């Protein structure tokens, strides 16, 4: 239990294809990939607590008096 074999993966992929349609699949996978990247960044940031946080840079006013 817990291991997905080849035919089980194909059945899941077929169900996803039916639900979302072929046109939306790239968008769905792109969103999933972006979520995974954000999760990894957050997880790495959790372990990098000894590094000082960067101060936000001040923008100089271009308004002349």
More reliable by pLDDT, 47 or 11:
11
What is the Cα–Cα distance from 30 to 32, expressed in whole angstroms?
Answer: 5
Report whether pLDDT(65) > 60: no
Report whether pLDDT(53) > 70: no
Domain positions in the chain are 23-47
> Is the pTM above the cut of 0.85?
no
Q: Which residues of 11-28 are buried (b: 16+ CB within 10 A; e: fewer)?
A: eeeeeeeeeeeeeeeeee
Of 45, 10, 47, 16, which is closest to residue 32 (Cα–Cα)? 16
- Residue 51 is given by DSSP the state S
């Amino acid at each position: 239990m817990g291991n997905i074999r080849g035919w089980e993966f194909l059945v899941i992929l077929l169900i996803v294809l039916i639900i979302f349609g072929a046109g939306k699949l790239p968008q769905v996978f792109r969103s999933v990939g972006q979520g995974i990247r954000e999760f990894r960044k957050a997880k790495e940031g959790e372990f990098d607590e000894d590094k000082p946080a960067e101060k936000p840079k001040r923008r100089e006013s271009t308004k002349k008096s």
